[in-house]
Amino acid sequence: MKKFLLTGLMLGSLICSNVFAQSDYPTLSQVTQRLQKLGGNASVELKSLTKTDGGKDIYVLKIGTGAKDEKPAIAIVGGVEGFHVLSVELALQFAEKLVTENDSALEKTTFYIFPNLSPDAYEQYHAALKYERRGNAVPMDHDRDGKAGESGYSDLNGDGLITWMRVEDSMGEWMLSKEDDRVLVKADRSKGEAGKYSLYKESKDDDKDGKFAEDLQEGIAFNKSLTYKFPVFEPLAGDIAVSQKESRALLDYLFEQWNIFAFVTFSPSNNLSSPLKYNAGDAKKRVVTSILEKDQAINAMVSGIYNETITQKAFQQTNQGTDGDFFQWAYFHFARLSFSTPGYWTPEFKEKTNAEANYLAWADSLGWDSFVPWTEVKHPDFPNQKVEVGGIKPFLMVNPPFEKVGEIAAEHTAFILKMAEMQPKLEFHNLKTEALGNGLTRVTVDLFNNSPLPTHSEMGARSRWLRKIKIDLDASADKIVSGDKIKLMDSMGAFEKATFSWIIRGTGSITLKAGASHTGFATETVKL
Amino acid sequence: MKNLKTRKLIVALALGVLSFGSFEANAQQENYFRAIGTPHKPKVEIAWNRYYSSEVLWDWMKKIAAAHPDLAKIESIGKSYEGRDIMTLTITDFSTGKDTDKPAMWIDGNIHSNEVQGGEFSLYVAWYLTEMHADNEFVKELLRDKTFYITPTINPDARNNFFKEPNTANTPRSGMIVLDNDGDGQNGEDRMDDLDGDGHITMMIRKSPTGRFIKDPLDPRRLMAVGPDQVGEYEMLGQEGTDNDGDGEVNDDGIGYYDPNRDWGWNWQPDYIQRGALKYPFTLPENRSVMEFVMKHPNIAGAQSFHNSGGMILRGPGAEEDVNTYNQNDIRIYDAIGKKGEEMIPGYRYLTVYKDLYSVFGGELDWFYGNRGVFTYSNELMVSYLYFHQESSGRGGQDEQMKVDQLLTLGDAFVNWKEFSHPQFGSVEIGGFKKTFGRAHPGFLLEQDAHRNAAFTIYHAYHTPKLSVMDVKEEDLGGGLKAITATVFNERMMPTHASQDLKYKIERPDYVTISGAKVVAGFVVEDEDMKKFKEQKASPDRLAVENVPGMSAVKVKWIVSSGSNYSITVDSAKGGKASWKK
C-alpha cells in the first residue's frame, strides 16, 4: 500500500496535475468537494437525491445545455458495489473531462452521472479496518436467526485488513494451488485430491452457531437488491427488492427522466468486452431472462466499439450479471440499453489459469506489495488446530493502483462519447407541398432515424416507461382534411424512414414536430 | 352479564319514574326482540344496506373505538397518495394481553377502488366482534386469544372518486395517480366524460341506417343484434365520452392506469410482463403502509383481502411460476378452511388464482404468504347467485341483470336511453347500467353477505395457532439430576410456521424456556419412544423449536441439577405465548 502511495504521488502529478493532485482514491468528502466544484459549472446541476441511513448523500449530476430534457441522454453510474472504488473515480473523471474538455457533446446529448450509490460501503476503503464491503448502514439479520449483524469479521492479526483464515484440517475442502502455493483452491475430489484446509473469511464465531462471518455488520447491498432476479431472503439482499432509501430515491428519479436511452455502469459485470448471449427459450418466456434477439445485435455492435477503444484485452471476464444487480435491471426492467464494465481487470500473465495466481504473478512482476503472508494466530474457536491468517489484500484485485486510473478514465470517456454520437437522431427529409386547388394543399414528408441505433430497443418498445414517437401537426382539426393531427409510432429502426402525408385547408405556415424525449425532436415548418 | 342487566333495569326503572319520556323509550326497547346472530342493542348503530365514503367509514371506526375502549383502538398506519390516512382498527380483549402477544388476523378491503363493499364488509367484522363480545362466549374467547387488524379501505382516495365522480362499475380500479396511458407524453388528458351529468359513465348508441342492432321490442333498454340477413337500426359507439386530445380515441387516457394489486413484493414483475405494475414493489404509499405495518407485526398469521366480484374464495399462487412456493402441507390447511367457506357462503367457490382465474404477479395474497408466511385468502364478494339462488355464468349475464332490475330493483339499476347532442358524434343516446350495479351488492343483499364473509374470516382467524404447555413430567435420574419433559400443543389448524416460512427462515423459531431450574442439558424430542433427542448446546434453557404444526405437539426435555419451583413458557411470533407453572 505504501508503495502505491509513493508511486501514485509521483505519477499523479504527471497525469492529472491539471485537474487535481491525488495519490489514492478519494474519501467521500473529497468526492463531495469535486462534485461541488463541478456543480459550479453553468451546464451542471448537482443534486442530492437522498441521504442513506449512514447519513451519506446520494448525488446526481445532470449535465447539459439548452432544452436538456428534450435531448437523448446517457446515464453513467458508479459505486454500485462499495468495494469497487475505481467505479466512483471513473464516473467522476468522466464528468470532469466532459465539462472541461468535451463540452461540445452537450449540444446534442444530456448526461446523468450517479457517481456513488454505495457511499456507506465505500467508506470502508478509508476506514481503520479495511474490507471489501457491499452493504449499507442499515441493521440487517443476514443469517435470519432473529438478531442483526452479530457474526461479522474480526481482525485476528491486527493488520487493519480483513483477509482470509485457513485452518489445517484433513476434512477441509481446500488445498494449495499448484500454480502458486500462497493460493488455496478447492480439492477436486473427483480426481482423488484430498483437502488440507478449511477456509473462512478472517472472523470468529461470535454467535456460536458454528458458522463464520455469516451475519456481517453491514446492511443491504445496492447491487443485490433491485427487482430483476431479486435474490429474496439472501444475505445482503433482504426480504423486499428496492427496499432502501438510496435505491428508491434513485429509481424514483430515473422514472422521471424520460430522455435516458442508455446506461453505462461501472461494476464487476461486463457485457462490453463481449455481448450478452441470446437464448431463444429464455427470451420467449413470460418472465424474460435473455437479452432479446435484436438487442443482442446492438450489444454486439457496441461491444465492437468498446474493444476498439479500450486497449486492455479481456481476460476472464465471465461475470455478465448477478441476481438483483443494477446493470441488468436497467435493461430487463427499465428497458434501456444497458452496458457495464469493471473498467479494469488483471491481464493474462504467464499462462496462469487461477485468477488469484495470475494476479499475484503479475503483481509480483511489478513489485506490488499485495499479499499478507500466511501467519499463525491463536483462534478461540479452533483451540487445537493450526490457524493462519493471510491472502491477497482487500480491494486490490478489482481496483488498480490509483496512478493507472487516469488512462482508464480517458479511454472510457472516449468510449462513452462515441456512444453519444450513435444516439437516435430523427430528421425530416423530402418535404413536398402540392397545391390541389380550392385552398387545399397536400403535404408529404419522410421522417428518418439517422442513427445506427433504433429509437426503441426491442425491449424498449415493450415498455410503458419509454415514450412513443409522436408526430404532431400544429394545425387545428378543422383545417386537416385528411391525415392524423397526432400520430404515435412504437419504434423506428436504425436508419429507418417513415412517410407521412396530409391534406390541409388554407394558407399560412404550420409546424411539424416528431420525436420523444429519449430520441430528441425534429421540427419542420411547412408553408402552405 | 347478569349484574349488568340488573343494573340497567334498575337505572331504567329509576329514570322511568322521573320522566315519562324515558318510560316511553324503555317500553319501546321491550318491543325489540333479539334476532339470533346479530348484536341486539349495539352501541354503534350502523345501517348495513348502504355504502360509505372513506371519511364515513373512519367515522364509524372511531365510534366503535370510542364505544368499546377495552376492545378496539384506532390508528393511522400511513398516508395515501392524496394525503388521506390509512386507518386501522385493532380489535382484541386488551384486558387479557397486548395485541402483539396474540396470533392475529389482518383484514383489508377496497384495494381496487371500485370494489367498494370490502370496506363495509371489513367494518362489519369490527362491528360484529365488538358488539357481540358482551353476549357471546365464543367471541369472548376469540378476543381473549386473538387480535384482528382491520383496515376497511386501503385505497381511500379512489374509493371516494368512485362514489363522488362519474365512473363505470370498473373504474377507477387504480388509485388517483395519473399516468400517461397512451404514450404521448401527457398524463390523463383524455378522461371519461359524464355527458348527461348523472354521475354514471354508461354507453353511447346512435341511430344508423347501417347499424347492426335494434332495441328489443319487449324491453327497449336492451340492445340486441339483428340476424345476419337483417337490417338494424342502431350502432354501438362505446363508452360515454369524447376524444379530448384529438388522437382519434375516446376516453383513452384517464386516471391511473396501474393496478395496486400488482405492486406487492413477491415475485414482482415490471409492467411489460405484468400489466399494471409500477416502478418497484410498494411504489404505492397505501400498500407501503400496509407492508410496513405487517413487518412490524409478526404476530399476523392469517389475512383476508376483500375484492369483488364473482363469489370466490381465492388462494395463491397468483402466478403459475410460483406453483412450488405452495407445498402440500400448507395447501391442506388452505383447503380445509376454504372448503368450509364454500359451505358458509352459498354461491361462493374456493379457487386458486393462477389456474382458475388468471396468472398474475405482484398480488397482495402472494406477498402475504410468499414473503411473510401468512395464510391468506382474497374473497371476491358478490355473485349473481345471490339474486335468484341459481347458478349463472360467474359475474352474471346481461339478460339476468335486466331481469334483476325488472323484478328485484324495480328499474333502479338502469339509466334509460336518452338523447344527447354529442360534439363529435352528433345525435346519440346515452344509457346503461349504473356504476353501483353488478359488482356492488344491492342494499338488500349487503348485510347477509357481509355477515357470512365475516363469519368466514372469523373461522379463518380462529384457526391461527393456539399454544399451550401441558403434560409436564419429571423423572429422577439419580445423582441429584432429574429429567423434565414438556409438551407444547397447538390446538388449531395453522402451524406456527408455514412451510414457506420454514424454507426461508422468514420468522424466528419458537422459544420454549424453563426458568427456576439449573439446566445441564436441553433437547427437542424427536421420538420419545425411541429415545431420539436433538441437543441444543448453546443456552439450553431456551430451546429453539422450528415449528409447532397445527393440531399437533412438540416435546422438549431438560436435564436439570436443581429446581423444584420452575416454570415453562413458550413464545412464538405467530403462535402467541403460553406458560405452565409448577
pLDDT digits (tens, 9 = 90+) for A150-195: 999 999 999 999 999 999 999 999 999 999 999 999 999 999 999 9
Domain with CATH 2.60.40.10 in chain A: 426-527
* Option in B184, B295, B371 nearest A488 (CB): B184
- Across residues B415-419, what is the average pLDDT? 97
Of all residues in chain B, what percent carry a pLDDT higher than 90? 90
What integer best gives the mean pLDDT of chain B?
A: 94
The residue in chain A having the minimum alpha-carbon distance to the alpha carbon of residue B185 is A467
Comparing alpha-carbon positions, the chain B residue that sits nearest to A146 is: B508
pLDDT at A142 over 60: yes
Q: Is B538 on the interface with A (CB under 8 A)?
A: yes
Residue B226 has pLDDT above 50, yes or no: yes
Tell me how close the Cα of A232 comes to any Cα of chain B, in angstroms.
9
Contacts of B269 in chain A (CB under 8 A): 287
Secondary structure class of A507 (helix, strand, coil): coil
Portions of chain A given CATH number 3.40.630.10: 24-125+220-344+399-421
φ/ψ of B27, rounded to 5, equals -60, -40
Cβ pair A120, A52 in contact under 8 A: yes
3-state class (DSSP) for residue B324? helix
Q: Does B528 touch chain A (CB under 8 A)?
A: no
**Interface contact flag, A241 B180, Cβ < 8 Å:** no
Q: Label residue B29 by pLDDT band (50, 70, 90).
A: low
Looking at the partner chain, which of A242, A486, A517 has a beta carbon nearest the beta carbon of B281?
A242
What value does the mean pLDDT take over residues B552-564?
A: 94
| Cis check: omega of the bond before B309, within 30 degrees of 0 | yes
Contact B203, B240 (CB under 8 A): yes
What does residue A133 show for φ and ψ, rounded to 5 degrees?
Answer: -110, 145
Residues of chain A found within 8 Å of residue B182, distances taken between Cβ atoms:
488
Residues of chain A neighbouring B279 (CB-CB closer than 8 A)? 242, 251-252, 255
> In chain B, count of helices (H) and strands (E)?
14, 23
Which of A214, A227, A485 is the best substitution to test chain B (most B C-beta atoms within 10 A)? A227
B324 Cβ partners below 8 Å, 6+ apart? none
Q: What is the mean pLDDT of residues B382-404?
A: 84
Which residues from chain B sit within 8 angstroms of residue A462, using beta carbons? 272
Question: CB contact, 8 Å: B503 with chain A?
Answer: no
Q: State whether the Cα torsion A126-A131-A134-A136 is positive or negative.
A: negative
* Contact flag A486-B247 (C-beta cutoff 8 Å): yes
Give the start-end residues of each E strand in B199-284: 203-207, 213-216, 219-225, 234-239
Q: Is the Cβ of B24 closer than 8 Å to some Cβ of chain A? A: no
Domain A24-125+220-344+399-421 sits in CATH at 3.40.630.10
Q: Is B198 on the interface with A (CB under 8 A)?
A: no
pLDDT digit string (tens) for B114-173?
Answer: 999 999 999 999 999 999 999 999 999 999 999 999 999 999 999 999 999 999 999 999
pLDDT of residue B182: 87
pLDDT, tens only, A341-389: 999 999 999 889 999 999 999 999 999 999 999 999 999 999 999 999 9
Look at residue B562 and tell me whether its pLDDT is greater than 70. Answer: yes
Q: Which of A51-65, A452-466, B247-261 bottoms out in mean pLDDT, i.e. has the lowest?
A: B247-261
Residues with Cβ < 8 Å from B368, sequence gap 6 or more?
A: B106, B294, B303, B305, B374, B376
Overall average pLDDT of the A402-425 stretch: 98
Grid cell for residue B455: 363469519
CATH assignment, A426-527: 2.60.40.10
Distance from CA of A214 to the nearest CA of B (A): 15
Q: Does B281 touch chain A (CB under 8 A)?
A: yes
Write the CA distances from A189 to A195, A285, B422, integer angstroms: 8, 38, 82
Q: What is the pLDDT of residue B248?
A: 85
In this structure, the number of other CB atoms found within 10 A of the CB of residue A402 comes to 24
For A285, residues 6+ apart whose C-beta sits below 8 A from its C-beta are none
Question: How many C-beta atoms lie closer than 10 Å to residue B545's C-beta?
Answer: 20
Q: Which residues pair with B300 in a beta bridge?
A: B104
ipTM: 0.93
The model's confidence at residue B392, banded by pLDDT at 50, 70 and 90, is confident
In the three-class reduction of DSSP (H, G, I as helix; E, B as strand; rest coil), residue B95 is classed as: helix
Please state, in angstroms and rounded to a whole number, the distance separating the CA atoms of residues A218 and A36. Answer: 28
Residues in chain B with CB shorter than 8 Å from the CB of A285 are: none
Residue type, B318: G
Neighbours of A14 (CB within 10 A): 9
Model confidence at A450: pLDDT above 70:
yes
Contact: A146, B273; criterion CB under 8 Å: no
pLDDT score for B31: 86
A485:B246 CB<8 A: yes
Measured in degrees and rounded to the nearest 5, phi and psi for residue B44 equal -115, 115
Which residues in chain A have Cβ-Cβ distances shorter than 8 Å to B295? Answer: 239
pLDDT at residue B196, as a whole number: 96
* pLDDT reading at B6 higher than 90: no
The proportion of chain B whose per-residue pLDDT surpasses 70, expressed as a percent, equals 94
Q: Does B291 contact chain A (CB < 8 Å)?
A: yes
Summarize pLDDT for A269-285 with one digit per residue, the tens. 999 999 999 999 999 99
Q: pTM for this structure?
A: 0.94
